[in-house]
Every structure is written in structure tokens, then in C-alpha cells.
Structure 1
Amino acid sequence: MNNENLIATATAFAHQRGEVREIAAIDLGSNSFHMIVARIINGSIQVLSRLKQKVQLAEGLDENNVLSQEAITRGVNCLALFAERLQGFNPENVNVVGTYTLRRAVNNAEFLRQAQQVFPYPINIISGQTEAKTIYAGVSHTQPETGRKLVVDIGGGSTEMIIGDGFIPLAAESRHMGCVSFAKKFFPQGKISPENFQRAKQNALNKIDDLAFEFNKLGWQSVLGSSGTIKTVYQVISANTDPNGIITPQRLNELTEIVLRADHFDNLRLAGLNEDRTDVFVPGLAILSAVFENFSIKEMRYSDGALREGVMYGLEKNFQVTDIRQRTALGLAEQFNLDTAQSERVFHSAQLLCRQIEHWENAKYADEMKDILFWAARLHEVGIVINHRGLQKHSAYILQNIELPGFDKEQQRLLATLVRYQINSFKSGDLAKFARYTESDVLTLVRLLRLAVMLNKSRQATELTDKILLKTDRTSVSWQLEFAPEYLSHNPLVKNELLAERYLLQGLNLDLTF
């Protein structure tokens, strides 16, 4: 985590922000067209709307790479719908990219001609490598993972594979294999069979086997997957196996065995499988299985960021920062007019106390949980913009429902939970249940934030100190605070808050002495 002083950073950040600017990013994919409309405000992107329409351009591409008039019409009709939403937008604030099917179509000029009649914005048909790099940018700008990453995106007509460090792609490849094109080629009339699946998987392996050496030589610390196929696999795993939706080779094999029991796309029945994905799910699964096998991937997480997010962030050059969460926090600080001095005081206290916690039930996620605690300390007052009464409820609602680049869904839920119970009474049963974090660890984080808030109740009158000792037992039930001599006598408000907290915790079978 970047522990720079938020006050200094926010001050510098404030000088950089300009006027509110509305932007739109459109991805003309082989399966669906996507549009994001957002505004740049206080140096951060605030998504206003997302539109998606299934167009299936790739289905209209014949063996001679001629795009049928029916497919062109479907695409143009969708663009006419998008144009309605974009009325009044300056062309420089709209970025439209065409991908695999449009770059393969020999008559793409005819598509552009017809589109121009209803859609008054330029369409840029990008190369496979540019598409891959833009996908990587979308993932890098929205996900919390740092270090070297392998990013995989399975689209309707092509699959992109990228290894990068930070925001810099080191190797970017695009191959002609997608869920729509493979459905057409290997699963005619939607028929499913083990033979069809194996042919599709082997074809995908043949297309990417030359990449294994270079990619494995570069190496990676984490693997992220984006777009429809991987999102659907993530949703199915979340609904049936693992609430975190982590994709592993074993889970892919289990999923393959299940889908091969059906003989047709129309007969697929899986929790988490949306109806509009049934006709491309099995071919996409074959491609993903090949990617896992070729690169010996152990696990993959789903990323909300993809091509359209990369296109969107490309419209503003000031977003490339080393810490996505810091950019998000600074944007919220500006948007909700946070008292950054108070945020820093609470952060300082949370950090001081947290360093003294020696036992975490799930040590694997200790650093991640601490990081979320520190951001909760800095953002705990965002709800004050609504009303100081019920501050904790307003803050939790905002943090649970706002776009938070740099935080995945489970981290966002934890952030909102900590902020929700920063003050006032609560019961242990009130705390949200998490797939990744244990109840004991979440309760520890809640107690730490509550203490940090209490210690700074007087705001600017707070007497700062680094001489607070926190002793806990291995069960984290009994906590003992030791202050510098005369500290509590000089801070009667803190003492009263601690007495009230001790009484509250007794009802939860927890102990606090000081």
C-alpha cells in the first residue's frame, strides 16, 4: 500500500483537476457492442451508464471474410441506439473501436459507410495487438493486483493474451479464436459432444502453443481474465463451487464434465449461466481450457476491467498512477469534500494499533485486510455529505454502491462493512459473511477502526500519540490498551468513549481493559 500523506497528495491532486468532462467509450465486439458513458470529475472517472447489446457480428462473417448485410444491419441498428444517448457529445470525447470481426471483414468499409449515416462519430478499427494492449490497460486501471500480470480476454472472434508490469505491457498477442467463431466452426447447429469439444480445444492449443515458452520465460505473479466467457465461468463457479469464483484447472475439468452431459446448447442448465450466453459458453470453455493447459495456469481471477475500460482511460492521460486505490481515494476525497486532516489522524491511529496485532486467523490475507482497514480509516466519513446523523450508514451505502477501481467485490464489501460499524452499537451477527475473510478477522478489523475513530473524536483538538500499546490474546477476545501517563486524564472524551465501548463489548463476550 502507498502510505504517502493523503493531505499533501490531495492538495497536489486538487491543483491538477479541471472542468467536469463527459466521455464515452464504445467497443464493437464480435459478439456484443458495449458502451460506457462516464464523466471525469475531481480527477477520477465516475461511470454514468453502461449499455450492452448482443449483435453477433462474427456470426455473419463467411469463409471469404465477407460480412453479411444482416450482420451489418444488426450492428448499425445498435449504433443508432448508442447515438441517441450520445447526443451533444463532442467527437473528441467519444472513442469507438472495432475489433476482430471488423478488422477481418473485407467489406468493413461498407459497414463504416452505413454506420456513418446514423452514428456521427469516427470508428477506429484496431489491430489485434492494439486490442490486446488496450485490454491490458483496462485491467490495470481497475484491478488491485500489482506486479507482473498475465491477462487473458476471450472475445467473440479473438483471444488476447498479455503479460505486463504495472501499466506497461511486455508481450501482447491476439489469436483468431473466439466463442462465436468457434461455436460456428466446431459446434454446428449448437450440438455438443466430447468430440466437438476436444476438436475445439485442440485447435485453440495449436493456435497458441508457440507462445508458451516466451510467456513462461517472462513469468507472472497473478493471472486475470476479462470479458464475457471468463465472466460467465466466474459466475458459474461462484454459484456452484466457490463464492470467490476463482478459476482453477480442476474446476474447469469439473465444469467440462457437466456441460458434456448435455447434447445441445439449448439444454444447458447451470446456476450462474445467463440465457444470452448459452450459445457461446461451451466453445468459450474449450478455449479457456486450452489457455490454462498451454500456460500451466494454476488459478485465475475475473477482472471487471476490459477493452472498453482501456478505451475509456485512454481518453484521459492523467490516470496512470502506481496505486489505483490511491487515485480512487483521492477522487472520493474531492467528490465528498472529506476532512483529509481527520482522515489522516484516524489512519495514523489505525496503523499504530494494527501493527500490534500479532495473530490473524487467515494469515494468507493479513496484508490485504490491513490495507482495506487503512482505506476504511481514510474514507470512513464519506457519508457526512448526506448527513452527520447516521454517518456510518451513509458512508457504508456510498462505499458499497459506488464504482471503486482498485477494489474487487469482496474487498469493497469489507470496506463498506468496516465503515458501517465504526460507531454505535452492533452485534456480531450483524457483520456480513465473507468467502475470503473469517468472522474473527473481520471483527478484529471492526474493533481496530472503532478504536481509531474514538481516539480522534475531538478532531483537531486530538492529542496525537505514538505511545499506545495494544495487547491481545490469540483468540482476539481480550484486548488491553496501555496509554502514556496522564493521557486519559488529558483526554476525558476518549476515556468516556472507551468505557462505553467496554460495556458494549461485554454484551458480545469480548473484553477491553485500559
Structure 2
Amino acid sequence: MHAAIDIGTNTVLLLVAKKNGEILTPVREEQRIPRLGNGVDASGNLSDASMKRVLDALQEYNEIISSDYPQIQSPVVTATSAVRDAANRSYFIDKVREETGFEIRLLSGIEEAEYTFAGALSMLPKIDEAVVIDIGGGSTEIAHGMKGVVRESHSFDMGSVRFTERFIGSDPPEESQIRNCREEIRKILHNRPFKFQKEDVQPALVGVAGTVTSLAFMDSGLSQYDSEQINDYTLSTENISYWVDKISKNTVRSLEETYPVVMKGRAEIILAGLLILDEFMTLYNFPELVVSTGGIRHGAILSKN
């Protein structure tokens, strides 16, 4: 039995899973939404309040592992964009060590893409070649590979929290805010192009993380979150355009009331995430996306010797 904790810009995720070679069988998953990266894009620092919320979540996970899975000695704990970007990251890492005993593995953008690629495809074993997109709160990772080997990857400094804080200032957002956000996304994507297509054969596009899993939940009409129903769910470009339009016309409160299971703590940032997804799929002519419930935490367990 293994455990991994992913400290992201918006969420802190726990995975407990059984490992058999490259196959993972999830046993338990938990999510908390402390939004560690709140304000980091503007201030350059993790706030005391955000760090306290994350520490509370980590203490809770520590208790879950100790009481329910005592055979697990040392979970893999990773941190990503918000911690990478923060000037006070060393203070936060030391604080986590002092209060929980967890040693944080601070991933580079490339490592984040590689962990995500492995984790995403661990939940979709039938896919050989894929482009994996991970729209996080502070960054977006793109990884292209085949049969578990990453050929090319890049980490973009754009994410759902970062671009909400930078561009989306109204509730609901103004058309000019959406337009400005789209323009910046296009600019960033064009500055670092990929060549995915070869001889008219396009790899599968796989999406991970809260933007796409929440969208799959809403699009499928589920009333309770069910990972098995969400994993391998397909979203077409038409689906995504529909939801971009719908979400852009609703207030945060309306979205939280209509879809409380997935919109609590995410309603105000999901539009920026969807705009990143929409622009990426448009640029590279992907007609659809397959959702994976795998991610960094799955890749972290697979990386353990």
C-alpha cells in the first residue's frame, strides 16, 4: 500500500493506492481546497492564511494515514507551481516538516509534466500515445509521449487561479475580461509550439485535474462524484464551447448552488481553466478530450522504487 499527497495551487489531494508494477488501484482519495496560491501571482509570497489552511489539510491527511493505513511509512508529498513561484517557499517547506514530519518534494515544471503524464495514463491503460494537459491553478503542463515515455513536455505559467486573479475581475465576467484572457493564452501557447501530428495521425488528448473532472461531472449529469464514471469520459469541443458560454453567464453563487459537489471552491476559477483548454484544443485541432482521474499523485507513487 502506498500514499501520495499533491499540494497544488488550489487543492491538496490524497491518494492511497495499491501498486502492481505500472498498475495502480486506488483505495482512497481525499480532496481539500485551501487555495495555497491565493495572491501569489501578485505578491510573490504564500500568505500566512493560505499556509495555515494547507497545514490543517496535511495534518488531517497525516491522521488518516496513521489511523487507517499504519503500514504506510512515508507518503510521497509533492508541491508544484504556487510553492515554486513563492519567495517564501523555504519557510513553507520547513513549516510543513516541523508540523507534520512530511518532506516535500518540490517538482520542477518538467517533473510535474512527467509525473502527470504517467499518472494520467495509469488510469487509461488502453491509450498508447497521448498528449496530456494538466490545467492547474498556477501552471499548465503539456506532455506528449508514447507507451509511458515522455517525448516532449513544457510547463506554462498560466493556470486557473493565476489567470482568474489576473484577468477575471467581475462576477459574472465581462466580455472584455474574457477576451483579454483568451488573447494572453493564445500568446503564451504560440510562443512555445508543439508538433503532435504525424502523417495525419493525431494522438489522443487526455485531460487531468479539477477543471476537466469538474466539467465531466457537470456534463454527464451526475449527482454524486463517481471517479469510475468520470474516468475515460469524453468531452467534445462542442461540449466545451457550450460550458464556456454557460459558465461565463452565471455568477459564482449560482454555479455553487447548481453544482455544489464540484463547484464549491472552484466556481470562481473554472472559467479561466476552460479558456485555457478551449484555446489549446482550437490551436491544435483536437476534436475531443478524454478525462483521466489520474494525476501527479499517481505518478508520484509510480516513481517510487
Pairwise same-fold verdict (TM > 0.5): yes
1:292 and 2:249 matched: no
Question: Which has the higher relative contact order, 1 or 2, with Cα contacts under 8 A spaced 6 or more apart?
Answer: 2
The residue number in structure 2 matching 1:166 is 147
1:150 and 2:131 matched: yes
Structure-1 separation of matches of 2:139 and 2:184: 13
Q: 1:284 to 1:43 in 2, by over 3 A?
A: closer
1:232 and 2:220 matched: no
1:187 and 2:184 matched: no
Q: Which residue identity does 1:232 align to in structure 2?
A: S
Structure-1 separation of matches of 2:175 and 2:22: 51
The residue number in structure 2 matching 1:177 is 158
Whether the 8 Å CA contact 2:214–2:263 is kept in 1: the answer is: no
1:221 and 2:206 matched: no
1:26 and 2:5 matched: yes
Q: 1:303 to 1:173 in 2, by over 3 A?
A: same
| TM-fit CA distance, 1:85 | 2.2
The residue number in structure 2 matching 1:80 is 59
Q: 1:293 to 1:86 in 2, by over 3 A?
A: same
Structure-1 separation of matches of 2:22 and 2:105: 26
User: Alpha-carbon deviations, 1:411-439, whole Å to 9, x = none?
Assistant: xxxxxxxxxxxxxxxxxxxxxxxxxxxxx
Partner SS state of residue 198, structure 1:
helix
Which of these residues, 230, 235, 253, is aligned with residue 266 of structure 1? Answer: 253
Structure-1 separation of matches of 2:39 and 2:214: 23
Which is worse superposed, 267-276 or 152-161?
A: 267-276
Identity %: 22
User: Alpha-carbon deviations, 1:50-109, whole Å to 9, x = none?
Assistant: 121111011141524111111111111111112212335665x42111000011111001
Structure-2 separation of matches of 1:246 and 1:51: 24
Q: 1:164 to 1:52 in 2, by over 3 A?
A: same
- Map of 1:63-142 to 2, 5 A cutoff? 63-87=42-66, 88=70, 93-142=74-123
Partner SS state of residue 173, structure 2:
coil
Say which one has the larger Rg.
Answer: 1
Whether the 8 Å CA contact 1:30–1:157 is kept in 2: the answer is: yes
Partner SS state of residue 144, structure 1:
coil
| TM-fit CA distance, 1:215 | 3.4
Partner SS state of residue 156, structure 1:
coil
1:315 and 2:294 matched: no
Q: Which residue identity does 1:238 align to in structure 2?
A: S
1:256 and 2:244 matched: yes
| TM-fit CA distance, 1:221 | 2.6
Structure-2 separation of matches of 1:53 and 1:165: 32
Whether the 8 Å CA contact 1:238–1:272 is kept in 2: the answer is: no
| TM-fit CA distance, 1:44 | 5.9
| TM-fit CA distance, 1:46 | 4.1
Partner SS state of residue 172, structure 1:
strand
Over aligned residue pairs, what C-alpha RMSD do you find? 2.5
| TM-fit CA distance, 1:224 | 0.9
Q: 1:62 to 1:49 in 2, by over 3 A?
A: same
Q: 1:296 to 1:40 in 2, by over 3 A?
A: closer
Which of these residues, 287, 303, 306, is aligned with residue 292 of structure 2? Answer: 303
The residue number in structure 1 matching 2:271 is 282
Flag structure 1 segments of 5+ consecutive residues without an equivalent: 1-21, 317-514
Matched residues, number? 291
Whether the 8 Å CA contact 1:239–1:271 is kept in 2: the answer is: no
| TM-fit CA distance, 1:246 | 2.4
Q: Which residue identity does 2:62 align to in structure 1?
A: A
Structure-2 separation of matches of 1:44 and 1:289: 31
Instruction: Report which of the two has the higher share of strand.
Output: 2
Structure-1 separation of matches of 2:240 and 2:175: 15
Structure-1 separation of matches of 2:196 and 2:296: 21
Partner SS state of residue 86, structure 1:
helix
Structure-1 separation of matches of 2:270 and 2:37: 15
Partner SS state of residue 170, structure 1:
strand
Whether the 8 Å CA contact 1:237–1:245 is kept in 2: the answer is: no
TM-score (norm 1): 0.53
Whether the 8 Å CA contact 2:51–2:92 is kept in 1: the answer is: yes
Whether the 8 Å CA contact 1:158–1:174 is kept in 2: the answer is: yes
Q: 1:42 to 1:116 in 2, by over 3 A?
A: closer
Q: Which residue identity does 1:229 align to in structure 2?
A: T
Structure-2 separation of matches of 1:43 and 1:194: 45
- Map of 1:460-471 to 2, 5 A cutoff? none
Q: 1:138 to 1:202 in 2, by over 3 A?
A: same
Q: 1:301 to 1:273 in 2, by over 3 A?
A: farther
| TM-fit CA distance, 1:272 | 8.6
| TM-fit CA distance, 1:45 | 4.2
Q: Which residue identity does 1:209 align to in structure 2?
A: H
Q: 1:101 to 1:190 in 2, by over 3 A?
A: farther
